[in-house]
């Protein structure tokens, strides 16, 4: 006889979405979140500023967040089930409990939440007595549910991005190639619109969607922009309704200008939200748009700048590698075979040969954009 957790029976007759629900997502991915704890919605709305909707999309999954823990019947049932240790997120581990073929429970070591999944009914319930810990697992679960829905129609890439003349461009390259540095320099100097810092999703018809994240800047990198060092300290004093160091587990507070200057050679990182990052650079952010081109950054110093287009076969090889580096954790155990197979050879890729003098390189790149893509007027 099929074992049954009472928590799912209690929620099986609930209407989704109900009057308290907010749907996070877009036309291709969505999660309906229901909770009596209003602060959880406040946190999610601030972290996913471009994602919340009400009643205008069919929810892919229904997610209930509850302050508390499962009832005694359910805890006794879980105690008798098969379990294993899995990799959770960011190097953390979790206990995965198998109730039956369609129901599992995941208990992260870092939060001790009960994350209960019913695959057949696309229903997920999270329990924790502490609101901050409950939010951490709610946030991580919403992100994973959205990501794996998007991956059925989009391909994910690891890169930073900006908007120029209403189209999106992305810096790509190996770790340490300068993706964040060059994106920050271009945004800071020419006040282009910010798109993303680390990951994004791209469809076969050139539609691109950003991924909510916390941009990470090394102390060494931020010291390359003296005008931004003091602004980081100003940002730390500015009131944001969502303060990551108060909400996320082990999320450091923003450092002072003195601390940044004292760590000018360090590769340790400063973490901001997207809202803090665009405030720091005094730019706007866009969440989705039409994609134009990749800009490949390879390590190496040259006497002068140049930009050349890579042919289709070479571009496909390069982009396949970059795409494979943008993996998402899969502790929910989605079917890996549902991923989109966007033909990467159709996207244009340009290799940027650099002098490694940031001011020289950024001016060359901006002039190239104006000359080749009918961009902004130079007077702007």
Q: What is the Cα–Cα distance from 198 to 200, expressed in whole angstroms? A: 7
Q: Is residue 223 part of a domain?
A: no
Q: What is the pLDDT of residues 270-297, one digit of tens each?
A: 988 888 899 999 999 998 899 999 999 9
Please state the domain count of the chain: 2
Q: Whole domain around residue 284: which residue ranges?
A: 155-215+273-372
Mean pLDDT score across all residues of the chain: 84
Of 104, 131, 150, the one marking the end of a domain is 150
128 and 55 housed in the same domain: yes
Residue 378 has pLDDT above 50, yes or no: no
78 and 192 housed in the same domain: no
CATH code at position 347:
3.90.228.20
Confidence (pLDDT) at 344: 64
Residue 174 has pLDDT above 90, yes or no: no
Q: Is residue 245 part of a domain?
A: no
Q: Which two tokens stand for residue 120?
A: 């057949």
Of 129, 150, 171, the one marking the end of a domain is 150
Residue by residue, DSSP assigns 205-256 as TSEEEE-----EEEHHHHTT-HHHHHHHHHHHHS--S--HHHHSTTPPPPPP
In degrees, rounded to 5, the angle at the alpha carbon of residue 258 between the alpha carbons of residues 255 and 261 is: 95
92 and 211 housed in the same domain: no
Global pTM value: 0.87
175 and 319 housed in the same domain: yes
17 and 137 housed in the same domain: yes
Task: Answer with the residue of higher pLDDT: 60 or 112.
Answer: 112
196 and 114 housed in the same domain: no
138 and 180 housed in the same domain: no
360 and 288 housed in the same domain: yes
283 and 326 housed in the same domain: yes
Q: What is the pLDDT of residues 204-255, one digit of tens each?
A: 888 998 888 888 899 999 999 999 999 998 888 777 667 778 888 878 888 9
30 and 172 housed in the same domain: no
Contact between residue 53 and residue 11 where contact means Cβ atoms under 8 Å apart = no
Q: What is the pLDDT of residues 106-140, one digit of tens each?
A: 999 999 999 999 888 888 999 999 999 999 999 99
Contact between residue 31 and residue 144 where contact means Cβ atoms under 8 Å apart = no
72 and 187 housed in the same domain: no
185 and 280 housed in the same domain: yes
């Amino acid at each position: 006889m099929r074992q049954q957790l009472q928590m799912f029976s209690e929620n099986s007759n609930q209407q989704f979405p109900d009057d308290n629900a907010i749907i996070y997502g877009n036309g291709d991915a969505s999660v309906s979140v229901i909770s009596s704890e209003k602060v959880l919605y406040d946190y999610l709305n601030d972290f996913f500023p471009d994602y919340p909707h009400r009643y205008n999309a069919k929810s892919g999954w229904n997610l209930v967040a509850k302050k508390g823990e499962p009832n005694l019947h359910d805890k006794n049932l879980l105690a008798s089930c098969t379990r294993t240790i899995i990799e959770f997120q960011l190097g953390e581990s979790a206990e995965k409990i198998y109730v039956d073929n369609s129901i599992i429970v995941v208990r992260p070591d870092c939060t001790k939440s009960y994350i209960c999944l019913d695959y057949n009914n696309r229903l997920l319930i999270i329990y924790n007595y502490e609101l901050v810990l409950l939010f951490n697992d709610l946030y991580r679960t919403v992100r994973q549910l959205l990501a794996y829905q998007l991956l059925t129609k989009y391909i994910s890439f690891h890169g930073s991005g900006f908007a120029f003349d209403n189209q999106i461009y992305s810096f790509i390259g190996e770790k340490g190639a300068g993706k964040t540095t060059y994106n920050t320099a271009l945004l800071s100097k020419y006040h282009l619109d910010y798109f993303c810092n680390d990951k994004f999703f791209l469809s076969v018809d050139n539609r691109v969607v950003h991924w909510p994240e916390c941009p990470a800047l090394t102390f060494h990198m931020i010291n390359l922009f003296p005008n931004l060092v003091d602004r980081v300290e100003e940002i730390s004093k500015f009131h944001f309704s969502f303060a990551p160091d108060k909400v996320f587990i082990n999320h450091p507070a923003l450092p002072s200008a003195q601390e940044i200057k004292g760590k000018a050679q360090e590769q340790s990182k400063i973490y901001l939200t997207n809202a803090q990052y665009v405030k720091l650079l005094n730019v706007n952010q866009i969440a989705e748009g039409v994609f134009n081109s990749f800009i490949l950054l390879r390590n190496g110093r040259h006497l002068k700048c140049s930009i050349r287009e890579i042919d289709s076969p070479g571009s496909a090889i390069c982009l396949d590698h970059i795409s494979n580096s943008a993996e998402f954790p899969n502790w929910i155990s989605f079917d890996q075979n549902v991923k989109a197979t966007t033909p990467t050879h159709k996207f244009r890729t340009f290799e940027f040969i650099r002098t490694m003098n940031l001011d020289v390189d950024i001016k060359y790149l901006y002039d190239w954009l104006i000359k080749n893509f009918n961009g902004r007027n130079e007077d702007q």
